[in-house]
Structure 1
């Protein structure tokens, strides 16, 4: 593979999506995400996250995530990397290990087998975990949903609540287990997985992430933007 693959990871509300988009813009990389970046993936994303649908259970959840990843790798990641592009993905393999592994209790050996089958061994060159304590992440999610809802009843605009997705709606204890799963992965593989404190202003966190990318992968092909 001629390109570079960088995965941004973290619990819901950590700011990783914002940081992934900023990093893609700063490096001239292709931005993508999981789940849902392909036509089939969009359907699988709804099955995984829609709170109005019946819950899947841990194993089925892991299988749906892996099916989405198989299409993502085949349709987006491998072609881009083979052409020499840098790619920044909002979630990749570490999310499965943290959410379905540490959070749901699916055995690591099984998740590793599913990962190999879905990716053919394609790992990220660098994994950046944007870390944020659960209470702060929850507060950000609540503020984001409130902003998306718009004006309330009696005010101009549609208003109405915006439902949390199935994983966002899990109890704080689940989010904390997932967070600890990400931190454990960084301890397990410190050469490839780096933790960045997500508590600062957006631009400050972005600078810290760019510094880690430059130190570990060098400058992007077209230079920093």
Structure 2
């Protein structure tokens, strides 16, 4: 790959939490629970300005099921607090082979935040996750009804999953670091199967329990889509 091609690919992925211009297109004939704040946006789900660029995407309505975007295994489920109240997070590791990707990094992380601890405390390190598996339900940050409901979803490219470190925050709760991981726009991975359009629109692929995903590339959507 040429230097120019690598630069263009990094821009499309949003390396460095940079705007990608990618926009979701939901399938005709379905009503999908939508994304409410996109990657690298400075606007929060309630329309207010963020203090920093958004490191993932937010979406969902209160009580919506959250589905694993691809096969993988649990790295950890843990309690955390981002300043809105105690909640939980879940980290899943996907391999390139899991996602039928022929190139790119060897692994990816999916991190989910603003979850309820009671929803994710059952998960154990190393547990296998299947595509579309329900991993929780959309709640409000810190289970605080002063905020709008959302699930926060981050995607990392991961060169070496063994380089993960756990850091204790000032409030006694933990968070992970991996210096061999790089944040990217989740819409980039949602666009791998059908391809990203020239105008940077990404066709959202809902998960259907009776579909064959043995050759599906990348991620399926994490929120429900129902027929009209």
The TM-score with structure 1 as length reference comes to 0.27
Considering fraction of residues, name the structure with more strand.
Answer: 2
Considering fraction of residues, name the structure with more helix.
Answer: 1
Which gives a bigger RCO, structure 1 or 2 (Cα 8 Å, sep 6+)? 1
Which protein shows a greater Rg?
Answer: 1
